[in-house]
Amino acid sequence: MNRFTYAGRARQTRSAWPERFGHWPFLLLIWLPLAVLFVRAAMGLPELALRDGRLFDWAREAWLLIKTLVYASSVAGTVCLIGFLTAAYVIGPGQRQIRSLTFLLLISLTIPSSVHALGWLKWLGLIRQLGLDGVASRGWVVSWLVQSMAMLPVGLLIIAGGVLVQNREHFLAARLLGPDSRFVVKILPGLLRPQLLAAGAIVWILTLNDYAIPSIFSVNTYAIEIFVEYSSSYSLARTILKSLPLVLLQTAVLTIILKLVPQVFLSGRLQDFSSLKVRFPRSLGVLAGLGSLLAVLAAAIPLSVIFLSKEMWLDLGLTFGQSVTDYLTSLGISALAIAIGSPLALSMARWIHARGVSRKGLFLILGPVAIPGTLTGIALIHLFNHPWSNWIYNSLLLPVLAILGRFLPFAVLVILAWLQRLDRELIWAARLLEPDDARTTRKILIPLLAPGIATGATLLFLLGLGELGATVLTVPPGFSTLTIRLYNYLHYGATDRVLGLSFLIILTIVLIWVPLLFWQRSRRS
């Protein structure tokens, strides 16, 4: 792999610091707290073995795990199918709608899953009131439907990225050999395979770790088993042991899948399919239209609940007024996560890119993603709650570290993908002419990678804004975040306030996204 990378060529002159040591800050920041946690948990194991004869209820837990895997796989499969149909739609009849669809999905990505569930509960209730009593209010099917719809924005955005980097030449070549529909049915699935796999894997993982939506519809998953263990035994060792099958499974699957993903980013630049005038037969057009309709529905249902709530608008001023400190705290934490995380992610990505990454390496990078947020929070408490480190422990730096601990690997992967799409001749030329790596990085590499760094930063920001499991444990007394407040309102039953806060989050994203869009346009022109 190195033979084809700019770093492989540049090594003939001199390796840059991030290419030699760029992994150390990442490993220290992400793995040191987890290592301390695992050591502490391992120390508790002998006592645990003496106290409890039976750690696992094998038959019940194995069955629960299998059911959970089937449930998560069905959700991931559904998201991939709808995602593929929507991709076909935007290449074919719906080329003009791609921007509005992406915008709608990006907005709905920020809405908490509980609001998605709330929206679907409302609409399904309305359908039942219209006399369609057959519509289930609980059980596997309705839970699968709502979970799939809540996860669809995540999956679709990944798949949409895949569509945008496809080579027009593939399509033009296929067009010479047969009708456009043939390209969609026979060739597009293969071209989009890495994105479909990546979307499927990420949705699969998010579903495996979510028990909020399934439990609303009376479906049990393994995530709730872990949570029961954590909240009833108060034993770190037991909780980690319970989490282990799920953590290992997730990391293994992610590693295998992401090993396939980077290849796609070698394929080229962002493409515009609008000039191709793709034509579909009616049946395929209807099917693709149906897929995109479901995608619109996935965004429209929660948005309708937010925007059509009269009480939400009436209480909006009060909701904003009460949440302003939490809002600023959340923004500060997420901003600092970006400021610290982006250089670290860039260094790590450069190190991986320079060396090529093995499955073991990917396992190390991705492992933390599969660890429940609560355990990440506890790990940071273990590491930093000492008299000598009170200045960190009682500061907002701890929730920043929690967010980085959970989501920095995603930023690394995004930057890595962009690094692999770079025009390498440019970098080789720069490295040969300018020996100072800091200068080359600042003048050449960062501007070229700016979209990738911005995407990674956006991901950190969005995921950090919605994080709860680790931040609730790490935010210092006297502070709170918007998400903590939102969940408090949710429990209190103040739906109007929950919707008001969701609106505030949407507004924030719009205010950040629109200037970014203009910046991107001016950059292109």
Partner 1 sequence: MIVKPSGRILLLALALVMSLVLLPACAPRDKTVTVYTSVDRNFSELVFQDFEKKTGIKVIAGYDTEASKTTGLVNKLIEEANNPQADVFWNGEFSQTILLKEKGILMPHDSPAATDIPAKYRDPEGLWTAFGGRARVILVNTRLVEPADYPTRYADFLADRYPADQIGMAYPLFGTTATHAAALYAHDGADAAQAFFQALQDRGIRIVDGNGVVRDLVVDGQLMFGITDTDDALGAVERGDPVAIVVPDQGPGEQGTLIVPNSVALVKKSQPNENAQAFLDYILSPETEKYLAEIGWIQAPVRDVGLSAVGGVDWNLVRTIDVPLSQIYEQLEPSQSALKQIFIR
Of 45, 297, 454, 468, the one binding partner 1 (CB under 8 A) is: 468
Of 427, 473, 506, 509, the one binding partner 1 (CB under 8 A) is: 473
Of 15, 74, 97, 220, the one binding partner 1 (CB under 8 A) is: 220
Rounded to whole angstroms, the Cα distance separating 351 from 358 reads 12
Which residue type is seen at 172?
L
Span near partner 1 by CB under 8 A; candidates 96-104, 176-184, 330-338, 349-357: 330-338
Does residue 131 bind partner 1 (CB under 8 A)?
no
Span near partner 1 by CB under 8 A; candidates 359-367, 388-396, 418-426, 444-452: 388-396
Span near partner 1 by CB under 8 A; candidates 4-12, 155-163, 277-285, 376-384: 376-384
Q: Which is nearer to partner 1, 214 or 409 (CB)?
A: 214
Does residue 227 bind partner 1 (CB under 8 A)?
yes
Does residue 201 bind partner 1 (CB under 8 A)?
no
Alpha carbons within 13 angstroms on the beta-carbon side of residue 310 total 0
Identify whether the C-beta of residue 329 lies closer than 8 Å to the C-beta of residue 479.
yes
CA 187 to each of CA 82, 169, 173, 181, 190: distance values in angstroms, whole numbers, following the listed order = 17, 12, 11, 10, 5
- Measuring CA to CA, which residue among 419, 505, 494 is closest to residue 456? 419
Instruction: Find all residues with CB under 8 Å of 168, minimum gap 6, and list them.
Output: 271, 273, 276
Tokens 């600092």 label which residue? 336
Of 231, 325, 358, 520, the one binding partner 1 (CB under 8 A) is: 231
The token duo for 382 is 């273990």
Of 387, 522, 524, 525, the one binding partner 1 (CB under 8 A) is: 387
Identify whether the C-beta of residue 65 lies closer than 8 Å to the C-beta of residue 245.
yes
Q: Which is nearer to partner 1, 15 or 220 (CB)?
A: 220
Of 81, 396, 450, 454, the one binding partner 1 (CB under 8 A) is: 396
Sign of the torsion formed by the C-alpha atoms of 441, 447, 452 and 453:
positive
Q: How many beta carbons lie within 10 A of that of residue 473, not counting itself?
A: 19
Span near partner 1 by CB under 8 A; candidates 1-9, 172-180, 219-227, 420-428: 219-227
Rounded to whole angstroms, the Cα distance separating 72 from 151 reads 11
Q: Which is nearer to partner 1, 78 or 334 (CB)?
A: 334
Q: Which is nearer to partner 1, 107 or 472 (CB)?
A: 472
Identify whether the C-beta of residue 348 lies closer than 8 Å to the C-beta of residue 26.
yes
Of 410, 461, 479, 503, the one binding partner 1 (CB under 8 A) is: 479
Does residue 371 bind partner 1 (CB under 8 A)?
no
Rounded to whole angstroms, the Cα distance separating 375 from 392 reads 19
The token duo for 295 is 């995608």
Backbone φ and ψ of 111, nearest 5°: -80, 130
- Measuring CA to CA, which residue among 415, 340, 401 is closest to residue 373? 401
Near partner 1 in 243-282, by CB under 8 A = none
Q: How far is the CB of 226 from partner 1 (least distance, A)?
A: 11
Tokens 């309705």 label which residue? 142
Instruction: Find all residues with CB under 8 Å of 26, minimum gap 6, and list them.
Output: 344, 345, 347, 348, 365, 408, 412
Identify whether the C-beta of residue 231 lies closer than 8 Å to the C-beta of residue 221.
no
Q: Which is nearer to partner 1, 87 or 146 (CB)?
A: 146
Identify whether the C-beta of residue 342 lies closer than 8 Å to the C-beta of residue 148.
no
Of 36, 65, 290, 484, the one binding partner 1 (CB under 8 A) is: 484
The token duo for 424 is 């390498």
Q: How far is the CB of 216 from partner 1 (least distance, A)?
A: 6
Of 36, 48, 55, 64, the one binding partner 1 (CB under 8 A) is: 64
Span near partner 1 by CB under 8 A; candidates 24-32, 71-79, 211-219, 362-370: 211-219
Does residue 512 bind partner 1 (CB under 8 A)?
no
Q: Which is nearer to partner 1, 164 or 381 (CB)?
A: 381
Near partner 1 in 404-463, by CB under 8 A = 438
Does residue 397 bind partner 1 (CB under 8 A)?
yes
Rounded to whole angstroms, the Cα distance separating 495 from 6 reads 53
Q: How far is the CB of 362 from partner 1 (least distance, A)?
A: 31
Span near partner 1 by CB under 8 A; candidates 70-78, 226-234, 411-419, 517-525: 226-234
- Measuring CA to CA, which residue among 3, 15, 10, 18 is closest to residue 446? 18
Does residue 493 bind partner 1 (CB under 8 A)?
yes
- Measuring CA to CA, which residue among 299, 332, 349, 369 is closest to residue 480? 332
Q: Which DSSP symbol is given to 220?
A: -
Q: Which is nearer to partner 1, 86 or 483 (CB)?
A: 483
Tokens 């007024």 label which residue? 321
Does residue 184 bind partner 1 (CB under 8 A)?
no
Q: How far is the CB of 270 from partner 1 (least distance, A)?
A: 27
User: Three-state SS for 396?
Assistant: coil
Q: Which is nearer to partner 1, 96 or 386 (CB)?
A: 386
Of 74, 102, 233, 304, the one binding partner 1 (CB under 8 A) is: 233
Binding footprint of partner 1, residue count (CB under 8 A): 67
Does residue 325 bind partner 1 (CB under 8 A)?
no
Rounded to whole angstroms, the Cα distance separating 470 from 491 reads 19
Q: How far is the CB of 372 from partner 1 (least distance, A)?
A: 11
What residues make contact with partner 1 under the rule CB under 8 A?
A: 57, 60, 63-64, 121-122, 125, 137-138, 211-212, 215-216, 218, 220, 224-225, 227-228, 230-234, 332-333, 335-336, 339, 374, 378, 381-382, 385-387, 390-397, 400, 438, 468-469, 472-473, 475-480, 484-485, 487-495
